[in-house]
Amino acid sequence: MSKFNYHKAMLEGHGYNLYVADLLSSFGVPGIEVPEFSMANNPDEVRDKTMNEKDVIVDGLVLEIKSSSRMFRDVNDFPHNPLIVDTVSGFDSKVVKPFAYVIISQITHHLFAIPVATKPSWTIRTYHDADRNHQDRFYMVQKRHCRPFVEMVDVLLERAHERTNQM
């Protein structure tokens, strides 16, 4: 039987979404939206969330926020290489693919980004998730494909600036 508390994890995850949105806002990134939190209470709702949920939206681009129990200051400090991006089923079923994944340490609150443009370099590995007591397939990425969070911020700011100049 799984000891994993899905409701607690979803609520904590939403808190990280708000944290990243606030951080982006502090850098001056415009057009940030964090969809309202809602709980998935049955397998159909979980499936719908997996396919359609957007953690943070920046001017139409989706950022998927993943918190990690690992302690790190930046991607070079992250204790694993390659590292998990997402489950294969989770990523593949998303109706709108994310622009990037933001990985945040639950301990240090430091973060880095994985641009989804690096997907051709991702590999797949199968792991047993002891917390959820099941095996799953995961997309993996080498650290060299990850970027500092501020680089992603720069890209978002440049994009916003270009869109403003087009109007």
Q: Which CATH number covers residue 13?
A: 3.40.1350
**For 15, what's the count of Cα atoms within 13 Å in the CB-facing half-sphere?**
10
Is 52 inside a domain boundary? yes
- Distance from C-alpha of 53 to C-alpha of 62, rounded to nearest angstrom: 10
Domain that holds residue 30: 6-76+96-116+144-162
Q: What is the count of structural domains for the chain?
A: 1
Is 45 inside a domain boundary? yes
Is 124 inside a domain boundary? no
pLDDT, tens digit, 9 for 90 and up, residues 45-63: 877 777 888 999 999 999 9
Is 61 inside a domain boundary? yes
Q: How far is CA 130 from CA 2, 12, 83, 84, 133, in A?
A: 8, 19, 17, 15, 5
Report if pTM > 0.85: yes
Determine the pLDDT at residue 167.
Answer: 55
Q: How far is CA 113 from CA 7, 36, 93, 102, 118, in A?
A: 25, 23, 21, 4, 11
Determine the pLDDT at residue 40.
Answer: 75
